[in-house]
Amino acid sequence: MNKISFVFPGVGSQFTGMGKELYHEFPVFKDTIEEASDLAGADIFKIWQDGEQKLNELNFAQISLLSISYASYRVLQAELDVEPAMMIGHSLGEYTALCCDGILNFSEAIPLVQKRGECIIATSEQLEGTMLWVINIDTQVVEGVCEQLRSDAIEVYLSAYDTATQCSISCYNKDIFAIAKALEDKGALVYPLNLSGPFHSPLMQQAAKDFNTVLEGYTFNSQTSKVIANETARPYTDDVKGHLTRQLVSPVKWFQSLGVLEASGCTTIIEVGPKEVLTYLTQKSEKPLKAYSFNSIQHLNTLKNDLMVAEEEYLMKISGCRGVAVGTRNYYPENSNYHQDIVSPYNEITKIEKRIKEGYEVASEHHLKQALGHLNTILNNKRVPQDIQRASLAKLLSDKFIHLV
């Protein structure tokens, strides 16, 4: 299977009617939402279906997105049996990623995001701030404009890096027109967002301070994390409380985080949750990442067709390893250890294939990795030039399996 990462949406992706199909189709999804309802003291599913006003309130929006994305993740685990290489959550979505990674327990996550929302609301009510969406301009230019405006006593900060030419900024309401004009003079298109606070900026310092106090009452599971932090675009460290506190006053480095996935060899992302905002941003990033969404049965069927590997495919590639081993020229014919260096690893590939064909084992990625390991030994012992090795493996494996080498 391709090297896959999961991404989880934040506030703004909720919509009335979401989750209905998965709720009625998958017991694990329904159970998760019912657990969330018990924890939140509210009928979450009912709010999704006919509570538009409540759904768009920050507290309910946060609980809803955490719940639906985590429930969807559990469906994917059951139906696809895929283990993500890395995970990114956009703003609130980072809490979903931490739950899926086992760092944060879901039963604790619901009350935690409720308290996060309370801290954000309390600070926002005192600020009269908002956010603007800025497109059609390099984000570095936006940074420069913001820096210049701050030198003129206008507090404005870049709050989300979505693509190389698309971002969000946070500011006070009173400064919107001055900021928009400064950016438009540079060629930007500026749109106000219907948000009640200057989120992910230093203007939210009081919320971060209050939330840090809340976090002191929580214990997080310590482990090597697959989650990329919004504030650093690097994997989470053990300082989970610090990451979550700083997230409130730091820009969401979404575009930079996609770069981390690309550098790690990730080929595919799945957006787990409602709407397809992150799928769109990934496609707009022009990075070589195949983007899928999962919030419906149709999406699930597409994922199964495109990503799941049949037993026969693994067996065919294992047999192909033997073919490459035999068909590749020996650049070291004088090798005195030919049997040990060439014949022995070839026989190991044959044994793997034989056990599968005789029904003793079921072909899997593990078996293909073993066969590729033996093939690598053979090619190296034949002293095959690296460029020829790479070309042979690319032809054998195609895009679907090339991540295994």
Stretch among 55-64, 273-282, 306-315 having the lowest mean pLDDT: 306-315
**Residue 350 scores a pLDDT above 70:** yes
pLDDT of residue 339: 94
Residue 166 phi/psi, 5-degree rounding, is: -145, 130
By the 10 Å C-beta count (0-12 exposed, 13-18 middle, 19+ buried), 56 is classed as middle
pLDDT of residue 2: 63
Active site residue: 13, 67, 69, 91, which one? 91
The pTM score is 0.80
CA 105/CA 110 separation, integer angstroms: 9
Looking at the chain, the whole-number percentage of residues with pLDDT higher than 90 is 84
State the average pLDDT over residues 17-43.
97
Q: Domains, the chain, ranges and CATH?
A: 4-124+202-307 (3.40.366.10), 127-192 (3.30.70.250), 311-404 (no CATH)
State the average pLDDT over residues 198-218.
97
Mean pLDDT of the chain: 94
**Residue 66 scores a pLDDT above 80:** yes
Give 144's contacts (C-beta < 8 A, 6+ positions apart). Answer: none
> CA angle, corner 363, sides to 362 and 365, nearest 5?
130
Active site residue: 90, 124, 200, 201, which one? 200
Residue 384 has a CB neighbour count (10 Å cut-off) of 18
The number of angstroms, rounded, from the C-alpha of 262 to the middle of its chain's C-alpha atoms is 12
pLDDT of residue 298: 95
- The answer to whether residue 72 is catalytic is no
Alpha-helix runs per DSSP H in 18-102: 20-25, 27-40, 44-50, 52-55, 58-80, 93-100
The CA-atom distances, in angstroms, between 107 and each of 22, 83, 104, 241, 313 are 21, 22, 9, 17, 40
- Beta-strand pair 166-172/189-192: unpaired
How do residues 142-201 score in pLDDT, each as one tens digit? 999 999 999 999 999 999 999 999 999 999 999 999 999 999 999 999 999 988 899 999
Is-contact 261 289, C-beta < 8 A? yes
- The answer to whether residue 200 is catalytic is yes
